[in-house]
Each structure stands twice: as structure tokens, then as C-alpha cells.
Structure 1
Amino acid sequence: MLAFSNLIYFSMKLTLWIFILLLPIVTHGQNQLAVVDKLTKKPIPGVVVKIQGQSNQISDSSGEISLNIINPTLLVFSHISYESLSILVQPDENLSVELVPALSSLNEVVVVGFESERSLVHQAGSISKIFEHELYRFNENSVLSAFNTKPGIRVEERAPGSYRVSIRGSSLRSPFGVRNVKVYWNDIPFTSPDGTTALNILDLSNIQNTEIIKGPAGSIYGAGNGGVISLESRKTVSENCFSSDLGIGDFGLLRYRLGIDQKIEKGGINASYVHQKSDGYREHNALDRKVFQLALHANPSEKQSLSTQILYSDLFYQIPGALNQAQVDEDRTQARPGSVAQNSSIAQKTLYGTFSHKIDLGEKWNNSTAVYVNTTDFENPFILDYKKETAFSYGGRSKFSYKDTWGKIPVQIVAGGEYQYGKTLAQNFGNRQGQADTIRFSDDLVTTQAFLFQQIEIEWTQKVLMTLGLSQNFGRYDINRTVDASRNDPSSNSKVFDPNIIPRLALVYKINNSSGVHGSISSGFSPPTIAEVRTNEGSINLDLEAERGVNYELGYRGTFGILNIDVAAFYFKLDQTITTFTNPEGVVLFRNAGQTDQKGLEVNLDYALFRSQSTLVQEVKLNHAFTGHYFRFSDFESGGNDFSGNQLTGVSPNILVNLLDIKTKLGFYFNVTHQFVDRIPLNDANTVFQDPYNLVGGRFGWRNTVGSKWDFEAYGGVDNLLDEDYSLGNDLNAFANRFFQPAPGINWYGGVKVGFRY
């Protein structure tokens, strides 16, 4: 009996030890996750967690989720009020997962602005931010539609691939291309040293987020009265992913993209190739663009980050040319006579390499430095001539930031500089049926632009923030004419812009955490580009002076529950305004036009009518953007005509944009856009106008994640649903009344996207 009792005791003891030894195996894979708001740290109930091989889980009222994970598994967290997040979770790992709010209020939008990273609601200036999802609510063939939803900003497309950008009416001196606006790409100067910007070499996929400063920003970004566009591509790689897109549309539109993201330790590599082509709406209106981007991101330490990128773009597009009213009435799709025979077009190959480095130099100091090198081959057969250019440029930007508290007053100081050098061999030939003929003139062009900037921000109280900025600008053009077929001797010409000091003073009054009033006084200085000094018929206009002006601005931003409001009023007094005119041969020339008075009001309202995680329709949002630009010549006489008091050429006084966005639980979405553009004066005399028009378009689609590895989207859309007759990118002060560049009527587009995480 005793032996039997001992046997039972031994068996129970053995069972207990086996249970203890097997306990880790039995409990292996238990995970406790807590999902919280990244800003408030409060728990988020109702978060959907997608798990490969298992059914979806939902966080409880405390934001907690219990999972049984045996192997490393990628989890996808989604909630209508937050940005989606993917995390690789290990067995037995307990995590606190932080989700970023889906920017439903202005105080959640953080912008860099004037080199000051803070919430938009407390920024001292007019700044618009365009997020990645806003770029993709339209046809994905250009940035035009998304940019045009913001007040004060206007992008025109004279032909597919031929952009003209206007910020607060700055396109008056831009018959084509992007001028009087400074553009940066990943904090690196993207505007050439000569003042022009080839924005059309970028595909939509090369941009993730965009910040646009409206009005003079010379205290930090150098010369330019229009403003600053800061483009940013994806800078981090969070997971391994392969993606592909295919888009089609009217007029032979075909666009496809292949991309890959590869995470490597503390950094990663991403690469993409995009090919877009179309036949165009008009005769001689085709586009063919290929863009390859390769980027490497690394974090050598917690205090440093490195990034290097290579961008190669091969762009070709045909130029149909402007029509007069009789030609538009006859056939709005025809090309200007001579455009086809002379093969009027642009072929441009660009290689752009960048390197940037950021480092924390202790608790108070940090430095950001970026350099670039760029080469471009450019050919432009036109009706009147044939232009060839080979350009090389390099440059960089470096800034130091210092943050400290002086007594009880927080202070931030930013100081740095920017330098750009460009050299171009520019040759103009005759055009014989689309082929380069006898050389007319050849120039070696050297351009140097540089400036130093300093800025101090002082928070005098918890509610009052002051910003004082200053820059010193230097510029020089050298035009060495080596060949002149008009029997003039070779010559050397220089245009030097003496150091110009550009100040800016701004104040912000923080009413509370979600609203604030801002005001500023800023100086503007914009020298003519070398393309304005050296024109296509061979003249060199060294008498063309830089534009100078002062901008006064007052604005308010605030969030009231579901409603966000952003209002700004400004008055810009501009001297030596540069305008265009066309000679009898059709060559665009430039002149200073005295003074202009530019008064404006810009308003943006957005609000969520409905938002719920649990219902079929999860979100309904509305947005309204109004631009009131009441710009006039205050003192302008030309050719014996007095244009004083006339509306500023090329500027619509009133533009209204309305947006409606609907999202559903099943992944279906619907976007509607309406845009009203008031009539636009097309010449300085205000005798010819573009009629007002209304554009209505929509995009609908389905977007969802299948399992935890596959992302799918299918979409379709229509533009110009009302089939309006309008011109998007009129020629200003055109000779022979060739003002109009007709835009397409009603047209459709569609596409599919596939992503795979591995």
C-alpha cells in the first residue's frame, strides 16, 4: 500500500514537472497589444487588425487586442480616423501601437514652412500642404488637378507635359515653363540657376507630400516673388514591398509604373520606373515621358541620417501652338499652321543626382546639408527656329539650427546659405521642316546665384511668437556670344545683380491650441531669368530690371470640431513688373511694366459631415477653396497706350473649388470636384478675355488589403463632365490674336494598382 502511494506521489510530481516544462510551449504565441493615439496617448477602440491566415480582430473599448501569434507576422492596423500602419510582430511580443490621426484638424498638420517645424495653425505665413492621398484623387497623369484645389495656386497645361505654375498671379512673365517660383525637391534646389524649373520631368510617383509658400519668401529661400514649392519623395522604407500601376484613358493615354521598396537594417532602398505616353487631344499633341528614380536612405546613428538619390527623366512632347478665335471655332483640335511641318516640340533628357546629410550636434544644434549635380540635353524645334542646349549645373544648401531657452523665453535661430552654378551651351539654328539648319547664333551662358539667410524665432509669451528673417542675395549672368550669323562681332555681356537684402517680419498670436492669427511684412526681389534677358530672336536685353515689391498679409486659422478654416488677406505692391509681348514674327519678348497693385483674399474650409468606423459609409467630407485676386496695373504705359487701372493680364479675379469625398467600409470611395474660373484678361489692354467656365469631374474606385500581403485598387473617372469649351494655358499678349490653347472636352480614365509585401 505504501509502495502504491509512493507511485501515485511520484506520478503526480512527474506530471507537475512536465506541465512546468511544457508551459512556455503551451503559452507560446500570446500577444497583448494596446492601440493608442500617437498625440494624446488615449486608447483607440474599434481598430481593425488584419492578420495573415487568421480572421480580422478588433480592439476593445480599452484599445486592447489579444492575439495568438506563433511565427513573426505582419499586422495591418486600420481605422477611419487614423493613418493605416503595418508592423511585423514577433511571438510573445507585447506592444503599444501608436496610430497617427488622419489629419482632421489644422493643429495636427505639421509643416516646415519658413524652416520652422510646427503645426500649420501656428505658422506665420500662407502655406498650403498637399498630401499624397490628395494627389491620387484625380487622374494620375499630372500634378495639375491636385494643385488647383488650393487657394492662390494655379497650374496650367498648354499641352500635355507643358506646365505653367502661378502662385498669386506670378505667371504673367511665364509664357511657358515655371518662372518666378522657387522649387525644392527633398530640400535640394530643383530650380535651375537661371531661374527656370523643369517641373515636367517629374512623375506623380516622385512626390509624396508638397508644401507651398504663397508670396515672397526671400528671407529664407532667396529671390522670387511668387512663392516656394517644396516637393518631397518618400524618405523612409518601413517594409519590403513590390508595387505596380497601370493607367489608361482617352486620347491614347497609357501610364505604367513598377516600384520596389527594400528595407536594409536601419535604412532602405526604393526604386521606381514610370512610362507615360499619350496622343493628346489636339493635332501634334503627343507626350512620351520615362522617369527612373533610385534612392538610398540610411541612419548611421541615432543622431544622423543620410539620403542619396538619382533621377533620370527622358521627356518628349509636341507643341500644337495657340489658335485665334476663328481657328478655334473651325476646329479646336487643330494645330497652329506650321507646327506640324516644323515639328514644333521639346525633347529633354535630364540626369539629377543628390546627396543630403542631417546630424544633431548636441542638444541645441543641428545641421542639414544637401548638394546636387544636374546635366540636361535639350532640343526645341519651333516654327521660327531650332534651339539646342547642353547644360550642366551644381549647387547645394546648408543650414544650422539652434534651439534654447533664454531665461524663460524659447528661441530658435536658423542660419545658412545656398549656392548654384550653371553653364550652358545654347545654340539657335534655322528650322527646315523640323531639322536644324544653318546656325544663327551660339552663346556660352554662365549663371551664378547665391544667398545667405538668417532667421530668429522668439516666443515672447505662450501666445505670442515673432519671426524675423533676412537674406543677402547675389546673382550674375554671363553671356558670351561666340557665333553671330547676322554679321555682328562676337561679344561678351554680363548682368550683375548687386547684393540685395530681403527682410521679413512675422507675428503669430496663439488664441488656443487649435486657432491662431498671423501677420507679416515681407520684401520681394525677383531678377529676370536668363531666358528673359536672352531671347529666341537673338537680342540681349540687359536693361531688363528685377521686380521688387513688399507684401503685407493678415490671416487666421482655426479648428472647430468638424470644421477647419484658413483665411488670408494680402496686399502686394510690386515695382518694375515684368510682362510679355509678342513681336510680328511671333517671338515672345519681355519688358518692365511699372507698378501693379495686387490685393487678394484666400479662403479654405473643410469639414467632415460624417465619420464612423462601424457603419457602411464611414466618412463624408467637404472642402471649399476660394481665391479672390484683384490685381491691377497702377502705373503702366507702353507704345503710347496707358494701361493703368486695367486688370493684371492672365489672372482670374475669382476661382471657387468644391470637393466631396466619400469612403465606405467595403473599400469603395467616390470623389467629386467642381471648379469655377472667372473670366481672364488675355492682353494688357483688357480687350480680349477667356470666358468663365465650370469644370466638374469625379473619380470612383475600390481600395482594400487582401490578407496581410496584398494591396489592390481599381479606379475610374471622368474629367470635364459638362463638356465645357475652355483654354487651359492661354498665350498672353499674343500676336495675330493667337491667344487660345484649347483643352479637352469630356474625357475618361481608369486604372489598377497591385502591391505585395514580402
Structure 2
Amino acid sequence: MLRCLLLLTFGLGVFWQLNAQPAPDTTRLLEEVTVRAFESNRAAREVPAAIALLGPADMQRFSNATLVQAVNTVSGVRMEERSPGSYRLSIRGSTLRSPFGVRNVKMYWNELPFTDPSGNSYLNMLDPAALHHLEIIKGPGSSLYGAGTGGVLLLRSENPRNERGLGLGYLGGSYGQQNWQVAYREGSDRSSQQIQYLHQQNDGYRTQSRMVRDMINSTFRFETSDRQVLETSILYGDLYYQTPGGLTEAEMLADPRQARPATSLPSAVAQQAAVASRFFFAGITHQYRFDRWQNRTSVYGNLVNFENAAIRNYERRVEQSFGGRTVTEVPLTLGQGRMSLTGGGEFQSGFSPVKVYQNLGGHTGILQSDNEVRIWNYSVFGQAEIFWRKWTATAGASFNGLTYSIQTLSSVPALIQERKFSPVVSPRLATLYSVNDFVSLYAQASYGFSPPTVAEILPSTGLLNTSLNPETGLNLETGIKGEWLNKQLTLEAAVYYFRLDETIVVRRDSSGADYFVNAGSTDQRGLELMASFEPA
């Protein structure tokens, strides 16, 4: 039996170029790539923050079956896949409160808020082949991106230019690995469109770890004039993955491929432990350039049908959310320098019926709890950047609010509990000095906050915990960035201190169910080093 991935890739694609220009060499274009983090629109070396960019060349170094290997090349970032389709993402230790899933990290897909109002991000619904590039902001990004102390992910799909074609692809490997891709792309100077169908399945290394995912990704971009751009994004995903459960050391040594055996509770196999979710996401972005300033406004809607047959119980929920984000940028002349002003806001609203049943061998039994969760959150933000000679100075802040309302229908009479968190101001100050055309030094101080998610207020115990307080954190950081040898050699180093108050951590009761508490303060100190060399 094969023990390593056997690549059986083939591609059948025909691409008709609309002109005689050859397809661009992505490795040669790396030096021209700009980052969008903190609305900067410039090279990463010129932004006073710890930012990592993973482009097509970075992700193509590894299998497109998973993002884990590519993301784990970034210093300070760790991605885990506990079983096929089940991810955890840690940016500078942000998984303290995440036994599973992606929390405390804000995500955006094509400029649209992808993290739902409850603070959960369905990263596992995205097939890696749908991504063109992603940016990772390390540390609190609350000054422009709202709640979250762990960091920010900015994900972008491909925007084809001056090409038209159909592509087919297949990847096969051990443990039943199969990936199918069908994509149609068409682009001109003023418009582009793409539609992808992506299928992935894997039997997994362990018993009870099979995964099947189907995804449709459609994007359309149209420049209606020299001033105006419209862009739409539509995602549909159908994901099923089994959850084998954890093993003790003795169980792992006896048989590392087994699923969690029966204890006082039935085994993972007996309970048919698995997660099934269907995901629909649609959004539209309008960008307009005025004479001296521009505005970008996005609205989106999201629907998730989620079922989790866990060992202890069986959860069903239907998550419905919508929201929007608007950003206005104004460039100004300031004597011998210049200034950029950015302002805007973000709003999200969500509603989710959550029912928890007894799990009878993978089927629902007696209803244990029945709740309806409503969430509203908002963020109003502003930022000023001054560019003077070799200096860049940045000052930004956001004003953030969040309200939960949980109605317990399984109690008689129905009980309504509401928690309105006090608004929080999250500032960020940063400065950067360009030593020369190759080296820059930066320092920043940022403050972030992260309220408890619905999964933490309403954990697997089924007991409401509305006493949880938001996490707040202060990040102090300094670093150096450099590029040499015609930008083939890149070196970065950062030192940071992060103090987190009201730290939310996971606990387990006697039956093994998770619940969450505030555990005081934590001090996190880190040193990050990164070096990369890319031959011409």
C-alpha cells in the first residue's frame, strides 16, 4: 500500500489567448505584487506590520488537496488538519480557545466578510484550487477589521485577464485521494469571469475519517467605465467528513489508525460521528473612483445547513446571515509628503436555530435543547497614513459593538437571554523607516478584542454560558524587512509581546464535553524569522 501521496495528475485544457502575448511568468511577477492589508495597496516591505503573502507559485509547490503545507511555511502560523476536512488555524498561538474550527481569526473572501457574525469561519468549505493568493496579517487587526485578536486572512480568487479557456484536472493518491477540477475562464481588458466545479474525496488514514467535498465557485468582474467596477462572488459547498475522535497514548501505540473506542460513551464508529454541511455564499462589490477619492462597498448573504453527529449528541443548526462593508479612501498632499485617509464601517446580522438531540447511532433521538440565536455586530473604523521622505506613520482605530439574543424554546415558558457587550475602541499606531531601497524597519502597537462566539456561549454541553467576557489584547512589535539580489532573496524578522486579558480557554467536564471559561491573563512573547530565495 502506498504510504506517500502518489501524484497522478493530468490536465486537459485549451486556452485561447485574445492576443499574441504569452502567459505571464508568475515567478517573475512576484516583485510587482502588492498587498491589500490595512488598505495599503503597496509592497509588503513598505507596510508597518507583519504580513505574509502566499501567491500561486507558493501554493503550487505543494499538493492542491490541502492548504496545510503552504500555510505552514509562514513563520508564526500553524495550520492543522486533524482529519480530512477538519482544520484548525493558529496565528501566534490563537488556538488557545479553539478545540476545533477556525475562531478568533477574521477572514475575507474577495473583499467580502467571510467570517460569520458569530465569529466562526468555514475555511474547510473552500477548496484550495479556488484560491489564487492569500494574505495573512499576524496579530490584532481590529483597527480596520473588527473583532479578533488572532489575525486576519484576506483570500482572493483568480481574476483572469486576456484569456479564454476550459481546463480539466485530476489528482489521485493513496488512501482513496481523488480531486476533480473543471474550470472555465474568460477575461478581457475590462471584464473577467470564472466558474469552477471542484470535487475532493479521501478515505483518510484512520478509521472513520472519510471526507467528500463538492464546491462551485463563480466570480464575475466588470469595469463599467474608467471609474466604476462591479464584482460578484458566489460560492456553494457540500461537505461531509467523519470525525474519528482522539486517542490516548496507549490506544495510539496499540493501533494509530483506529477511531476512538468506546468508554463510558459509545465509540466514534458506533455513533457514526461525522459533520455534514451545505454552504451558500453570495456577495457583490461596487467600487467607484471619484476625482480625488474612491469608495468600495460590499454586501453579502450566507446560508449554512450544519449537522454534527458527535459521540455525545447530534446537533442541527441553520445559520442565516447577511452584512456589508464600505471603505472610502482619500489621498491628500501634505507639504513635501502625502497623506492617505481611510474610513468606513462593517455590519453583520445573523439568525440560527440550534437543536441538539440524543445521538442514536448516527440518527437523532430525544430533543435535548432547542435555541434560537440572533446576533448583531458592527464596526466603524478610520485610519490616517502619512508618507514623508523615508518615513511612514499610521494611526487607526475602530469602534465596535456586539449583541447576542438567545431564546430557549425547550424551556417552559420560553426563556430569552440577551447580552449586549460594551462598545470597544481598538487603536493601532505604527511607523516604518526605509533605510534604503532594500531594507525597512518598523514598529507597531495595536489593541484588539474578541468576544465569545456562539459555539463558546452555547457549547456541546448544551448549557448556556452568557457570563463569558470578551478577550482584549495589547500587541507590541518591532521588525525588519529586506530584499536583495533583485528581490530574489527576502529576509524578515519580528519580535513581539502580546498580553491577552480575559483569556478564553476550553475545559472539559467529566463526560468529555467542552465548555469555556475566562482564565485571566496570558503573556505571549515571540521571535519570528523568515528567509526565502527564488531563482530568477
Give the TM interval when normalised to the shorter protein. over 0.9
Look up the match of 2:5: none
Number of equivalences:
514
Q: Is the 8 A contact 1:122 1:515 kept in 2?
A: no
Residue 407 (structure 2) aligns with: 480
- After superposition, the C-alpha distances for 1:543-589 in whole angstroms (9 at most, x for unaligned) are 11111111000000112325321111000011111111111111111
Whole-Å separation in 1 of the counterparts to 2:162 and 2:376: 39
Match of 1:463 in 2: 390
Q: For the Cα contact (< 8 Å) 2:378–2:401, is it kept in 1?
A: yes
Tell me the residue number matched to 2:25: 84
Q: Give, in whole Å, the separation in 1 of the partners of 2:30 and 2:157.
A: 19
- Could you tell me which residue of structure 2 aligns to residue 203 of structure 1? 127
> Residue 75 of structure 1: CA displacement?
3.2
Q: For residues 134-283 of structure 1, what are the structure 2 equivalents within 5 Å?
A: 134-263=58-187, 266-283=190-207
- 1:442-471 Cα offsets, whole Å, 9 max, x none, are 111001111000000012x21111000010
- Report if the CA contact (8 A) 1:379-1:387 is conserved: yes
Q: What secondary structure, in the 3-state scheme, does the structure 2 residue paired with 1:75 have?
A: coil
Q: Which of 415, 424, 437 does residue 352 from structure 2 map onto?
A: 424
* C-alpha distance in structure 1 between counterparts of 2:334 and 2:497, whole Å: 35
Q: Deviation string for 1:72-125 (max 9, x for gaps)?
A: 9853547xxxx439xxxxxxxxxxxxxx94336xxx442111111111111110
Q: Could you tell me which residue of structure 2 aligns to residue 88 of structure 1?
A: none
Structure 1: which amino acid aligns with 2:274?
S
Determine the structure 2 residue equivalent to 1:567.
Answer: 493
Letter in 2 for 1:456: A
Contact 2:117–2:377 at 8 Å: present in 1 too? yes
What is the TM-score when the length of structure 1 is the normalising length?
A: 0.66
Q: Which residue of 2 aligns with 1:61?
A: none
Distance 1:318 1:579 in 2: 25
Distance in structure 2 (CA, Å) of the matches to 1:265 and 1:209: 21
Deviation at 1:140, TM superposition (A): 1.3
Per the alignment, in what secondary structure is the counterpart of residue 25 of structure 2?
strand
SS at 1:323 equivalent: coil
Matches within 5 A, 1:64-143: 74-77=19-22, 83-84=24-25, 101-103=28-30, 108-143=32-67
Partners of 1:545 and 1:266 lie apart in 2 by 48
Residue 272 of structure 2, aligned match among 343, 350, 355: 343
Whether the aligned pair in 1 keeps the contact of 2:162 and 2:188 (CA below 8 Å) is no
**Conserved in 1, the CA contact under 8 Å of 2:349 and 2:376?**
yes
- Among candidates 522, 532, 541, match of residue 465 of structure 2: 541
The percentage of counterpart residues that share the same residue type is 36
Letter in 2 for 1:351: F
Task: Name the aligned partner's letter for residue 476 of structure 1.
Answer: T
1:499 aligns with 2:423: yes
Which residue in 2 is equivalent to 1:25? none
The answer (yes or no) to whether the contact 1:236–1:297 under 8 Å persists in 2 is no
Report if the CA contact (8 A) 1:370-1:396 is conserved: yes
Secondary structure at the aligned position of 2:350 is classed as strand
Whichever residue aligns with residue 25 of structure 2, its letter is: S
TM norm structure 2: 0.93
Match of 2:516 in 1: 590
> 1: CA distance between counterparts of 2:472 and 2:187?
48
- 8 Å Cα contact 1:522-1:550 kept in structure 2: yes
On the 8 A contact 1:76/1:84 being kept in 2, the answer is no
Q: Take 2:437 and 2:341, find their aligned partners in 1: how far apart are those partners?
A: 23
Distance 1:73 1:429 in 2: 57
Distance 2:92 2:218 in 1: 34
The aligned runs of 1:310-389 (5 Å cut-off) are 310-337=234-261, 338-362=267-291, 364-389=292-317
Offset at 1:183? 0.5
Q: Which amino acid aligns with 1:103?
A: L
Once the two structures are superposed, residues 200-242 of structure 1 have per-residue CA deviations (whole angstroms, 9 ceiling, x without a partner) of: 0000122101000000110000111100000000134421111
CA distance in 2, matches of 1:246, 1:296: 25
Deviations 1:351-398 (A, max 9, x none): 111101111011x21001111101111111111101000111000110
Larger-gyration structure (1/2): 1
Which secondary structure state, in structure 1, belongs to the residue aligned with residue 268 of structure 2? coil
Secondary structure of 1:111's aligned partner: coil
Deviation at 1:489, TM superposition (A): 4.6
| Mapping 1:496-645, distance limit 5 Å | 496-561=420-485, 562-608=488-534, 611=536
RMSD: 1.7
Q: Is the Cα contact below 8 Å between 2:159 and 2:192 reproduced in 1?
A: no
Structure 1 residue 409: deviation in Å?
Answer: 2.6
In 2, Cα distance between equivalents of 1:320 and 1:223: 32
The residue number in structure 1 matching 2:9 is: none
Residues 287-326 of structure 1 aligned to structure 2 (within 5 Å) = 287-326=211-250
In 1: Cα distance, 2:105 partner to 2:379 partner:
16
- 1:676 equivalent in structure 2: none
Specify the code of the residue in structure 2 equivalent to 1:75.
A
Name the aligned partner's letter for residue 278 of structure 2. K
- For the residues of structure 2 that align with 1:205 and 1:302, how far apart are their CA atoms? 31
Q: Cα deviations across residues 113-171 of structure 1 (Å, max 9, x unaligned)?
A: 11111111111100000001211211211111100000011100111000000000000
Trace 1:1-12 onto structure 2 (pairs within 5 A).
none
Q: 2:368 & 2:231 partners in 1: Cα distance?
A: 44
Alpha-carbon deviation of 1:264?
6.4
